[in-house]
Structure 1
Amino acid sequence: MSNTRFVRNPLSFALASALVASVAPAFAQEAASAQPAPSAATDIDTITVTGSRIAKDTFNAVSPVQVITREESTIAGFNSTTGVLQSNAVTGGSDQINNAYGGYVVNGGPGVNTLSLRGLGPTRTLVLVNGRRMSPAGSRGAVGSADLNTLPSIAISHIEVLKDGASSIYGSDAVAGVVNIVTHQKFDGAQVEFQVNVPEHGGGEETRWSAMVGTVGDNWRLSGSLDIYDRKEIQFGQRGWASDCPREYYGRNDDGSYGAGDFLDPVTGEPVCWGLDAGGVTIGTLGTATFASNFFAPGTTGTSFNRWRPNAAATTSPVVGFEGVDYYTRTTYSPEMEKEALISPTTNVTGMLQGGLDLNALGNAEAYFEILASRRESEQLGYLQHTVDYAVGSPLLGQWSNLPAFLAAPADGSTNGKNVAARAFIGWGLYRNWQEVDFTRATAGLRGDLGATWKYDGYVSFAKSNSDYYTENRLTDRIAKAYDVVADGRGGFVCRDTSDGCVAAPVLSYDVVNGILPQNYRDYIMQVTHGVTEYTEKTASFGVNGRLFDMPWDTGGTAMAAFGVEYRGQEIDDTPDQNSINSNLYGFTSATPTRGKDNVKEAYAEIELPLLSGVNFAEELSINGSVRYTDYDSYGSDKTWKLGMLYTPVSWMSIRASRGTSFRAPALFEQYLGATSGFGNQSLDPCNSWGDLNDTASNRYKNCASLGLPADFQQTNSVTAFTKGGAETGLSAETSTSLTAGIVLQPEMPSWFGDLSIAADYYDVQVNNGVARLTTGNVLSLCYGQSQAEFTAGTGYCGLVSRDANNALTVTSGYVNVATDIVRGWDFTVRYTRDIGPGQFRANAVVTSFLEQAGKTFPNDPFKDTNGMIGAPEMTGQLNLGYNVGKWGFHYGLDWVDAVSSYEYYEKYDGVDYRPDYNMAIDAHFTSNASVQYSNDGWKVTAGVRNLADKNPPVISSGAYSVIGNAPLYSGYDMIGRSYHMNISKKF
């Protein structure tokens, strides 16, 4: 899905129409200039390419622009704009937040789909609709990027992708690049469309119903569209590779495969299954103080245990009726986990209305408007571990009433301040998240002529995202009430306080440990929590562009310029459920309100100087420069600039280069995020096995020893993490520099050979003073690495860390300006066309090659290059072959992700060789698609298959990366399997 077309005048609306009419999908890479493209279907004589504010009658530009036509998405089998934009052909293999991330905390909330170019993240990629900024949408407090779910489908003419910094043109966020969604401006008639995608292995069916109507009068235009998109859920159990729960794959077999060292489950004979947190979390297990016992589960090692599982035969065990288990024999997997959502469901309804009226005044002005509205209803199913704490001496302990304390009273108050004698680790089952996100964006403007050679365009825009988000949560105060019981006189127990319908917690039993809980108890402690997020953005913009002067020599051209001013105001107001605000969510992330606003005033100027034109060895030589002044309320003023050059020495070759600066103002959530709590794995504790540290003089060794912890200490509690915004610490904007340089070759070949076009573009982007959230691990490492005096005094980073009586750690962190990121590499594109027989053959290939994907969190850190690691492939590529004959078109596409390996990274930076132990390498991965299209009398039918070979995602060891089954959570690999698609459209 990556055909590329080179043209000497790319991207006019006329060209876009021509590309749409072709059967083979076409990516257009901006190239050199020649004669203007013939007009078609519109009267527009000047056009503006993404990356410039100057409207011209030719399409010469100094930065490469990729064009994706509407036809491209249809013939490749994509059923939504999201699918096209997140494909490897656009993103170069960078990981994207999609609907496989439903169980993860992501900016924008569950169900959001965002776009990241160059692997620099969605907040550094600017999305436009018809050249105007698309506002953020989503749920929860970290809304900061455009949600691709809000974009239309049938109304789109084409999509322009600029993979170059452009802050001097568009302002903040245009660091990694810009994506411009261009809709049909003059549509006359009606069109209806239906598409269905059906995976072979069940679940995940996608349907889209679309309609567009429009009419064009002598001095007016009006069109509207409606898209209804629905995707069903895919459960883990519907994909064999996903329901095969994660395994360590430890050690190599004789044939080179992994698993020789895996611990074999004595029950199944298979490697032990890590369904929850790579073994750090357990279910079907009872936790107590440590006891010596010779009654333990098969395969267990050791003679002392603090985790047990039910076994009625264990009559001589210190914990009667339970046998001891260790790290490997404790249970972490339940078959019910197979009902979790692999791909979460969503229903998106998007409507668009746009039009214009020629006023025959104010310089032949057109008054125009555009309204985009969408509603997303999305849902995620996840699996939940629950714990029931039995306090020392509680009557709910039943026959185990003599168990001593092994945990101090939890800080959340769930046991009413009483120490814990036994903790039942229970598999609760599935729980739901769901969201309803309403987004509206309305624009009204006026554009016309200023004299004979200048044009103006001014508009105002208002956008609003309003989200209701819901989660099934257990409430801590209700759990505490359920533990506070009295005898009911019938051999059972009731809550002491029944004012809210309290249901007593169940008496400890085998059934309770195995997850069989009374339904009325479940219903009492589990409640639906409801939060509301509102994000608004107001924009006012006015710009002019036109001819400045003719160059003072005969071989020059006409200097062009653009000037403008812009104002934007943004505001976020996220109000979580009151139980979240009060930290009353048991074992779940809580958050306080996020409220903040920011305003920016900007002015920009752009000038293009055609120094030479139509002379020997200079068919064209032009220079383009732009500058923007920005003044934010939040952090002050800044300037960005960009300088570029386009040189065409001969008609078949063009050389282009640009260098400039960009910036990204901190997102509102990065400044004002309310304190949000979460949990980290217990393995983050720097004092785990501190006695084994070789460097006994290190600060970490000394600091852990000073706590009085045993040398073989192992943390058994999750690390509680609090995150807050960085406004109070003076968070400032990121700055970046961007360099691109490329060559376009269109050799004049004999007619029998066909047409060949080649482009190679080098890119180098460096982000400085980057906004980063200090991770829990960062803070802990920095704290325990401080001097012993600082550690004891709790100063510096240790002021962000606390350790309670149970040795449970709590870490507070936030957003700071410390990070640096570098990405550099090459984009290669080749296109070949030739008439063969009665039709035309097309071959297009696109390859993205990263030379470096490096970063560092702190200024004094060394750069660490992740290029070539799992999730950051060094190279990706796409090949598309098409043949168009008469009313028929045939297409074949191949997507390629290069081999990846993480061994070198860990050996180089951590001095650890994981090669003999873990599978952290993946061979090159290929998936293909094919389709056929028939067109006649306004009808068009496209049918095809994606993932022809039904290729599963690759397999790696669990633990080192987020995995689904043993597949890495990475958007570059297909997780759906072979699927069939059909699109039917009719134009009237």
Structure 2
Amino acid sequence: MFNNKVSKAVRLAIAFGAASTAALASTAVSAEENTETEEVERIQVTGSKIKRIAATAPTPVVVIGRVELEDAGVSNVNDFLSEMPAAEVGLSPENSNNYIYANGLNTTDLRGLGSSRTLVLVNGRRFIGGSAGDNAVDLNNIATSMIERIEISTGGASAVYGADAVAGVVNIITRTSFDGLEIDAATTRPFEGGGEQTFASLVFGKEFDGGGFIFNYDFADQKQMAKRDKSWWYDNPVSSVPNPNNTGGDDGIPARIPYEGKKHYALYDESSEFFLGGDHWTFDENRNLRPFDNGDGYIPSDPTSSLYRYYAGEYKDGIEEGADEFFRTPLTRHTFNIAGNYEINENHTLSFDTVYSLSEAFGQSTPVFWRSLNIRKDNAFVKDDLRQLMEENEVESITMRRLANDFGPRKYNQERSTFRTSVGLDGFINDNWSYSTYFQHGRLQQDTSWFGEVITENFENALDAVMLNGNIVCANRNDEGEVVGAISGCTPINVMGAPGQHSQDTIDYITTVATAQHGGTQTSFGATVTGDLFELPAGPVGSAFSFEWRRDSAYEEPGTGIRKGLIFGNSGLAYSGSLNVKEYSTEIILPLVVDHEWAQELNLELAYRYMDYSSTGGDSAYKVGLTYQLNDDIRFRATMAESVRAPNIEELYSAAGTQFYGTRFDQCAADTIQNTDEKYRANVIKNCAAAGIPEGWRPSQEWTDGGSIEGKLGGNNTLQNEVSSDVVFGFVYTPTAIEGFDITVDYWSFEIENAIENYNYRELAENCYRADSLDNPFCGFITRGDNFEVVDFFQTSLNAAEEKKSGVDIESVYDFETSIGEFGVKLTATYVENYEINQTGNPIDLLVNTGEQDHMRWRARLNTSYEYGDFRAVLVTNYRHSAVNDRNGWNIEQHDYNDIPSYTTFDLSMNYRVLENVDLRFGIQNMFDRTPPRHPLAFEDTSWYDPIGRRATFGVNIKL
């Protein structure tokens, strides 16, 4: 009977994912060869700390082995995880170019519930977060060549592993020892444009009686890929424009329509531009006045869209579309690992692992935009043609706009260094009880430098250039505007004409390198004892008791220019914060039935964890699971759990920094109220009146035309824990009549209350005045002046939202042998049944976003393999279902392109062992060069679609 249980467990290996297939296979062989009286080694399953004979976990676990990673040809584990249907990209070099402090990070996101709700472990232990103050792990720090396997457990993991495991756990198991030398090198070359990648690794180790060690070095270099590197984007981009046929908000005609082709923004020219006398002006290469050139003219647009100024065709004046923008930010990383284990005696083993990682990412954005450069008629650089134009129009000054390419694009360099070491002691207390202890410490430092930044005051001083005593100087004016002298140390600048004509003294006076340093530490200790408590008729009662202590700290230290608010668009304060937590957990497995006519096995699992946070106080999580083995072919499983996520240091304690909201908006303005959804209008009218704002009030034209609204962004130390109710149930079918085949189907559901969301200015304003009363969490973060106009806001995180997401996971594997080779098919798919979010908790604000692009119905991955002798080939198909952009608020009045088509790519890889210790591999990713859908809302989306295109990978692996 005992051997029968083990053999069934092995057949369920992929379905339950207790460990890699290879590990379970070795267990099976030993079981079959031994007698029934001999013990079979128990193993630990991700999702539980109880060691068990086989994969009987009630929570689904997906296992990714080394072979799958090698077949995919990836140099970063996140590149693989992002293609798993149950996971999404959190941050990556493809979508983080404009995230200054997060540029180049690689984080994963289970269920699309957020990287902060996905707990990433390394060998079952926490790893320091990739960004200061955030717990999301940067997968750049995990050397691909060190990975033995990856186990993904979704749902119900918080009771076992603590906070942050709301969506589940990604447990990366690394090699603990190695005997020999392994060298691996690979390169990936896109068929068009940038984005080349180079990867190399060295693994060296030695195994000896009672222990062993392993050393590893990984190097990965990923080149940048600009938007203009890709002809599919540059030659014929897709966007949208206001519809010139639109006559109003109820005519049934879309306000926007798709537009194919190049377009360029006819404002903010690098030579400066302005309107005067009914004409649009700029300057030629000799700084003489000339008419602005917008080619064949403006793209026809909605006549009510007065600020819409794009023209079609080749670039003339203004801003060239896509200039200085990346599809992929460049990233270079070095990772060093050393790990080992030593058997003190037959009952106790000491192990350690240490990693040091250094990564450097480079981001870039457009040069500084100046929207209101005031040029007086007495400016020394004003030439006669401009002075005459000003006199003809009877103005003493003009306001110009300029794309300040004088100082180049704003570039920011992000350097991160991560150190983490862990020591563990594992062993047996007696024949029944075992223990596991560890201590780990991690440290992160990230240094950010911004180049091409402008010191605002110096620029404004240099802009006001006048002739004084025969010299051009920076004007020192009195209160009446009269020139009374020159500003000492200031070097004037001429912005009437093309850049590149400034002296080095001028550039040095105006520009600076802004800096900021972030960092943090994580220290933790944990101990677990596991064993059988007592015997029931159906078997022993298994248990695990754990204690964990952890302290996280983080700090931010901006440079002087940022702290003092001297740099254009950047200001912020230093902060430091920390939190610690003590956690106590218990797991119990109760065998209820065994070898009964209606059940081969029936087990009940219980888990409870109590957490005591210095920041949010005490909280708890629990899990109740049931596994039911009906017969040799089918097993049912179910889990009900409550999980928590504690706010991280960044959300709690980050200092206030400058934040801009791009467009002027006031919920209480008369025209805004008129256009507000009818279901909110009565509340808005009532609440605006309660705030003392007169009926029919409108902000001044000066406020309306004031550009971006300036406010603050920072932490909220009153945040509390999120709470999630999780349900998972499903079945595993492994028919004995079909060898090598199994299928698992699991339904999952998450309901998150007190969800932590970050709210920008518009969301704060809408949520404040659309609520039933002003007594709500949002109003306190908006400040109005004496004339009721908004003068400040504070963007922060609040426990105000609710989220619900549910769906079905399907995984099926079929491996079979033929006379011409071995074939394998593995299908993994996720169906989203429902996704709801309510950002305020008020029933009227419920949004059902199921089937939208961020929560598409189906995602699937089909892995088909063929192996014959020393040759192996794998074809991977990745599928994303068709979607809509907006399921809730969209109507034809807005636009006519709500539907987004499905998207499928194919990757082929081949491996051939040319010598006993030499493997060559070749692959083509995105074989048919599938570009993002030609759709205005998907064309540049690099989270869901592949912007790199067809690319070839060549690699070699040598083992000595």
Q: 1:261 to 1:676 in 2, by over 3 A?
A: closer
Deviations 1:480-528, CA, capped at 9 Å, x for gaps: 332454535446334769999532131x53547xx97666534432211
Selected match of 2:779 from 790, 797, 800: 797
Q: Is the Cα–Cα contact under 8 Å of residues 334 and 427 in structure 1 kept in the other structure?
A: no
Q: 1:741 to 1:346 in 2, by over 3 A?
A: same
CA distance in 2 between counterparts of 1:931 and 1:536 reads 40
Q: Does 1:99 align with 2:93?
A: yes
Deviations 1:307-338, CA, capped at 9 Å, x for gaps: x55699xx9xxx99679995333679634844
Q: Secondary structure at the match of 1:481?
A: helix
Q: Secondary structure at the match of 1:726?
A: coil
Identity of matched residues, %: 23
Match of 2:111 in 1: 118
Q: Is the Cα–Cα contact under 8 Å of residues 475 and 526 in structure 1 kept in the other structure?
A: yes
Q: Is the Cα–Cα contact under 8 Å of residues 68 and 159 in structure 1 kept in the other structure?
A: yes
CA distance in 2 between counterparts of 1:144 and 1:284 reads 45
Q: Is the Cα–Cα contact under 8 Å of residues 781 and 793 in structure 2 kept in the other structure?
A: no
**Greater CA deviation, 867-876 or 646-655?**
867-876
Match of 1:398 in 2: 382
| Displacement of 1:263 | 10
Selected match of 1:329 from 297, 305, 309: 309
| Displacement of 1:99 | 0.8
| Displacement of 1:691 | 8.4
| Displacement of 1:906 | 2.0
Q: 1:337 to 1:970 in 2, by over 3 A?
A: closer
| Displacement of 1:10 | 5.9
Match of 2:799 in 1: 817
Q: Secondary structure at the match of 2:57?
A: coil
Q: 1:927 to 1:396 in 2, by over 3 A?
A: farther
Q: Is the Cα–Cα contact under 8 Å of residues 660 and 710 in structure 2 kept in the other structure?
A: yes
Match of 1:155 in 2: 146
Q: Secondary structure at the match of 1:75?
A: helix
CA distance in 1 between counterparts of 2:515 and 2:947 reads 31
Match of 2:342 in 1: 357
**What does 1:719-758 correspond to in 2, within 5 Å?**
719-727=709-717, 730-749=718-737, 755-758=740-743
**What does 1:602-617 correspond to in 2, within 5 Å?**
602-617=583-598
Selected match of 1:583 from 565, 569, 574: 565
Q: Is the Cα–Cα contact under 8 Å of residues 718 and 808 in structure 1 kept in the other structure?
A: no
Match of 2:240 in 1: 248
Q: Is the Cα–Cα contact under 8 Å of residues 97 and 104 in structure 2 kept in the other structure?
A: no
Q: 1:495 to 1:147 in 2, by over 3 A?
A: farther
| Displacement of 1:589 | 3.7
Selected match of 2:850 from 867, 871, 881: 867
Q: Secondary structure at the match of 1:858?
A: coil
Q: Is the Cα–Cα contact under 8 Å of residues 36 and 58 in structure 1 kept in the other structure?
A: no
Aligned-partner residue type, residue 129 of structure 1: V
Match of 1:135 in 2: 128
Could you list the runs of 5+ residues in structure 1 that have no partner in the other structure?
Answer: 22-32, 265-269, 298-307, 406-418
Aligned-partner residue type, residue 563 of structure 1: F
**What does 1:323-722 correspond to in 2, within 5 Å?**
327-329=307-309, 334-335=319-320, 337-360=322-345, 364-387=347-370, 389-390=373-374, 395=379, 398=382, 421-428=398-405, 429-472=408-451, 473-483=453-463, 485-487=465-467, 489-490=469-470, 492-494=472-474, 502-506=490-494, 509-511=496-498, 520-551=505-536, 553=537, 556-586=538-568, 588-682=569-663, 684-686=665-667, 687=669, 689-690=671-672, 693=675, 699=685, 703=693, 707-709=697-699, 715-722=705-712
| Displacement of 1:737 | 0.9
Q: Is the Cα–Cα contact under 8 Å of residues 373 and 400 in structure 2 kept in the other structure?
A: yes
Q: Is the Cα–Cα contact under 8 Å of residues 262 and 271 in structure 1 kept in the other structure?
A: no
| Displacement of 1:110 | 1.4
Selected match of 1:70 from 60, 66, 91: 66
Aligned-partner residue type, residue 544 of structure 1: V
Q: Does 1:762 align with 2:747?
A: yes
Q: Is the Cα–Cα contact under 8 Å of residues 15 and 743 in structure 2 kept in the other structure?
A: no
Q: 1:804 to 1:491 in 2, by over 3 A?
A: farther
Alignment TM-score, normalising by the size of structure 2: 0.85
CA distance in 1 between counterparts of 2:534 and 2:98 reads 56
Aligned-partner residue type, residue 200 of structure 2: W
Q: Is the Cα–Cα contact under 8 Å of residues 947 and 978 in structure 1 kept in the other structure?
A: yes
Deviations 1:83-129, CA, capped at 9 Å, x for gaps: 112224451xx3431112233237x6211111111111111000000
Deviations 1:201-230, CA, capped at 9 Å, x for gaps: 031111111111111221222111110111
| Displacement of 1:341 | 2.2
Match of 2:193 in 1: 202
CA distance in 2 between counterparts of 1:459 and 1:133 reads 11
Q: Secondary structure at the match of 1:446?
A: strand
Selected match of 1:890 from 873, 877, 886: 873
Q: 1:60 to 1:35 in 2, by over 3 A?
A: farther
| Displacement of 1:722 | 1.2
CA distance in 1 between counterparts of 2:786 and 2:205 reads 67
Match of 2:225 in 1: 234
Q: Is the Cα–Cα contact under 8 Å of residues 690 and 712 in structure 1 kept in the other structure?
A: no
Aligned-partner residue type, residue 572 of structure 2: A
| Displacement of 1:82 | 2.2
Q: Secondary structure at the match of 2:567?
A: coil
Q: Is the Cα–Cα contact under 8 Å of residues 783 and 790 in structure 2 kept in the other structure?
A: no
Q: Is the Cα–Cα contact under 8 Å of residues 73 and 84 in structure 1 kept in the other structure?
A: yes
CA distance in 1 between counterparts of 2:659 and 2:610 reads 39
CA distance in 2 between counterparts of 1:902 and 1:914 reads 15
Q: 1:218 to 1:432 in 2, by over 3 A?
A: same
| Displacement of 1:250 | 5.5
Q: 1:109 to 1:260 in 2, by over 3 A?
A: closer
| Displacement of 1:836 | 2.4
Deviations 1:734-780, CA, capped at 9 Å, x for gaps: 11111000111112226xxx532111100001111111222211122
Q: Does 1:858 align with 2:840?
A: yes
Aligned-partner residue type, residue 110 of structure 2: L
Q: Does 1:771 align with 2:756?
A: yes
Deviations 1:46-93, CA, capped at 9 Å, x for gaps: 3211100011232211111001111112212222222112224451xx
Aligned-partner residue type, residue 111 of structure 1: G
Match of 1:409 in 2: none
Match of 1:413 in 2: none
Alignment TM-score, normalising by the size of structure 1: 0.83
Match of 2:925 in 1: 946
CA distance in 2 between counterparts of 1:75 and 1:198 reads 17
| Displacement of 1:370 | 1.1
Aligned-partner residue type, residue 467 of structure 1: Q
Q: Is the Cα–Cα contact under 8 Å of residues 461 and 475 in structure 2 kept in the other structure?
A: yes
Q: Is the Cα–Cα contact under 8 Å of residues 393 and 402 in structure 1 kept in the other structure?
A: no
How many residues align? The count is 895
